[in-house]
């Protein structure tokens, strides 16, 4: 079984600081990590390989500072990693991303199954896997919470309203959700072995893909949490009524 997994180096969303004034994320030099659902897709691929044999390859695209993801990919146990990085990809939208990924996959060729996370930890558009499947003309099974393969693929898909059992012929594309598995933590010896393993780099000029995004991001901001900011000067005894009012309010809202 030849499996290709799409793996993104996303921002470590939990570590990102937001400009308290504008609410914009401060991305310059912000820490990165492998996208959570992609990590589970890779884990799933490795488990399938462990069961039925085969080869696990990965494809990644991003800005040059996302190259480190390869080390993690190899430390988890992938066989071959392919990556394309370019500063021009800073503004890549889901469509550009999906077209480049599918071009890379075509170039690598030879696959039975393509896996990816259902959405990336940072962009969270949920669009890339379906678009990749469309570009490659493959059946697409979204949001898998379990995958079984023999001659075909049997997938439990969580589509929100219910869990659907689907079956698709190979080759096909499956996107996985967070619940599918608990990914392995690479051992030190696996990390050491991985650290010098060579990988293949692709370049934008290898492909005829129009990089101009269809989507324009107008702003990215932290959700505003409205607070009531009600302060009572408790040193003044005449204000006690206000305190009582607050207590009543809080009771009403079941806070206390």
Partner 1 sequence: MEMEEKFDAIIVGAGASGLGAAYSLAKSGFNVVVLERGQRIGAKNVYGGRIYSHVFEKEIPGFKEDAPVERWVTGERLTFLDDSSAATLELSSDFSSENSFITTLSKFNEWLGKKVEETGGLVISGIKVDDLIIEGSTVKGIVAGEERLFADVVIDAEGVNPILAKKAGLRGDWNPHEVAVGVKEVIKLPESVIEDRFNLNHGEGAANLFLGYASRYGFGGGFLYTAKDTISIGVVVRVDSAIANRISVYDIVEDFRLHPYISKLIKDGSPIEYSAHLVPEAGIHGVPKLYGNGILLTGDAAGFVLNRGFTVRGVDFAFLSGVIAAETIRKAHEEGDFSASTLSHYEQRLKESVVFRELENFRKVPNLLSNLRFFETYPKLLCEILKDAYTVGEDSKKIYPLLKNKMRDRVSMITLIRDIISVVRNL
> From the list 188, 217, 225, 226, which residue makes contact with partner 1 (rule: CB under 8 A)?
188
Indicate whether 19 belongs to the interface with partner 1 (CB under 8 A): yes
Confirm or reject binding of residue 27 to partner 1 (CB under 8 A): no
Window contacting partner 1 (CB under 8 A); options: 16-24, 113-121, 134-142, 202-210: 16-24
Q: Judged by CB under 8 A, does residue 20 bind partner 1?
A: yes
Report the C-alpha gap between 151 and 113 in whole angstroms: 11
Q: Which of 189, 219, 229, 238 binds partner 1 (CB under 8 A)?
A: 189
What long-range pairs does 151-155 form, CB within 8 A, spacing at least 24?
Answer: 153/113
Check: CB of residue 30 under 8 Å from CB of residue 105: no
* Residue 187 touching partner 1 (CB under 8 A): yes
Which one of 31, 167, 169, 206 is in contact with partner 1 (CB under 8 A)?
31
- DSSP E strands in the chain: the ranges are 2-6, 9-11, 32-34, 55-62, 80-85, 113-117, 140-149, 152-158, 163-169, 172-176, 200-202
Measured at the CA of 34, the angle between CA 31 and CA 38, to 5 degrees, comes to: 150
Exactly one of 27, 152, 192, 250 binds partner 1 (CB under 8 A); which one? Answer: 192
The number of residues that bind partner 1 (CB under 8 A) is: 13
Binding site for partner 1 (CB under 8 A): 17, 19-21, 26, 29, 31, 187-189, 191-192, 195
């Amino acid at each position: 079984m030849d499996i290709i997994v799409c793996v993104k180096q996303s921002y470590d969303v939990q570590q990102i600081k937001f400009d308290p004034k504008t609410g914009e994320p401060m991305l310059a030099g912000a820490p990165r990590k492998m996208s959570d659902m992609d990590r589970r897709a890779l884990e799933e691929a490795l488990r399938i390989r462990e069961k039925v044999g085969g080869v696990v390859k990965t494809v990644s695209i991003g800005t040059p500072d996302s190259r480190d993801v390869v080390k993690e990919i190899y430390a988890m146990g992938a066989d071959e990693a392919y990556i394309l990085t370019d500063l021009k990809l800073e503004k890549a939208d889901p469509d550009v991303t999906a077209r480049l990924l599918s071009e890379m996959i075509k170039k690598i060729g030879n696959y039975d199954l393509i896996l990816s996370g259902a959405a990336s930890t940072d962009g969270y558009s949920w669009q890339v896997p379906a678009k990749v499947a469309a570009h490659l003309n493959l059946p697409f099974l979204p949001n898998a919470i379990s995958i079984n393969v023999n001659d075909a693929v049997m997938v439990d898909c969580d589509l929100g309203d219910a869990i659907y059992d689907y079956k698709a012929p190979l080759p096909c594309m499956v996107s996985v959700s967070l619940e599918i598995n608990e990914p392995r933590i690479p051992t030190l010896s696996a990390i050491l072995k991985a650290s010098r393993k060579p990988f293949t780099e692709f370049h934008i000029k290898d492909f005829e893909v129009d990089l101009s995004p269809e989507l324009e991001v107008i702003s990215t901001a932290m959700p505003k949490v409205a607070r009531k900011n009600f302060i009572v000067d408790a040193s003044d005894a005449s204000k006690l009524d206000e305190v009582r009012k607050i207590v009543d309010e809080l009771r009403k809202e079941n806070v206390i």
